[in-house]
């Protein structure tokens, strides 16, 4: 996965928050932690997916020779379990990071003297709420929240997936994508079918999320008010 742009925007935003004095606030620890979490989880997933792909090829090769290696099969199942846990961790920690960014936006407006900063709620969920966004635009900063609305639109789908995995009866299933790579789908009791037409490439999907986060952080760095 390519994290170069993510790391650059993350660093820029961290420096801006330090200028605002947010590095003295507990929320900054969560901001810093996610930089490590994202790199660790994505690196693990790359290694695990490469290993799972290699194992599966070896298992198929055994089958063609009419051989069965139970140790390889168990190892493949165990590797898929690791991938499943790391995907869940990625959704969980990224969701926490989005709330962290929301609180940081709120505190940034406070730091530059905006008297309406406390109208903001602490959860990213409120940035997806049309009624609350209208209030933020009207009372805090019209231009900033108008532009932010587009940058957070992808979070709706992300949040639904995360909520399904952690709060509802949903689970991850794996299959090959049309391109032949390892893909996953999020199943719930209402979904009847899955396969190459619906699964998303694991690394491709996570790269999309990382890229969306990079866009969001770049927007914050460029558009959070420097002064009132």
pLDDT for residue 228: 52
134 within some domain: yes
d(CA 198, CA 173): 11
d(CA 200, CA 185): 6
pLDDT for residue 193: 62
57 within some domain: yes
173 within some domain: no
188 within some domain: no
| Domains of the chain: total | 1
pLDDT for residue 170: 67
pLDDT for residue 166: 75
pLDDT for residue 197: 63
d(CA 21, CA 15): 10
180 within some domain: no
Residue numbers of the domain that contains 56 = 4-166+199-223
pLDDT for residue 68: 84
**What is the DSSP secondary-structure string of the chain?**
---HHHHHHHHHHHHHHHHTTGGGSTHHHHHHHHHHHHHHHHHHHHHHHHHHHHHHHHHHHHHHTT---HHHHHHHHHHHHHHHHHHHHHHHHHHHHHHHHHHHHHHHHHHTT-TTGGGS-SSGGGGG-HHHHHHHHHHT-HHHHHHHHHHTTTHHHHHHHHHHHHHSSEEEEEEE-TTSSEEEEEEETT----STTT-EEHHHHHHHHHHHHHHHHHHHHHHS-S--
Regions of the chain with pLDDT less than 70: 167-170, 188-198, 227-228
45 within some domain: yes
pLDDT for residue 139: 95
193 within some domain: no
d(CA 221, CA 57): 45
190 within some domain: no
């Amino acid at each position: 996965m390519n994290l170069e742009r993510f790391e650059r925007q993350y660093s820029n935003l961290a420096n801006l928050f330090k200028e605002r004095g947010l590095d003295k606030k507990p929320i900054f620890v969560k901001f810093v932690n996610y930089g490590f979490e994202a790199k660790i989880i994505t690196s693990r997933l790359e290694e695990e997916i490469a290993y799972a792909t290699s194992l599966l090829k070896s298992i198929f090769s055994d089958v063609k020779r009419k051989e069965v290696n139970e140790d390889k099969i168990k190892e493949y199942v165990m590797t898929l379990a690791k991938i499943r846990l790391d995907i869940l961790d990625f959704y969980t920690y990224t969701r926490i990071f989005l709330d962290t960014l929301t609180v940081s936006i709120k505190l940034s407006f406070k730091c530059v003297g905006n008297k309406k900063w406390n109208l903001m709620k602490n959860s990213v969920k409120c940035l997806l709420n049309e009624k609350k966004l209208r209030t933020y635009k009207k009372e805090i900063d019209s231009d900033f929240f108008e532009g932010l609305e587009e940058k957070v639109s992808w979070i709706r789908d992300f949040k639904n997936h995360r909520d399904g995995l952690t709060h509802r009866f949903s689970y991850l299933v794996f299959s090959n994508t049309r391109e032949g790579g390892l893909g996953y789908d999020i199943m719930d009791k209402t979904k009847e079918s899955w396969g190459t037409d619906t699964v998303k490439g694991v690394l491709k999907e996570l790269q999309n999320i990382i890229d969306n986060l990079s866009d969001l952080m770049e927007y914050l760095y460029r558009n959070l008010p420097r002064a009132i």
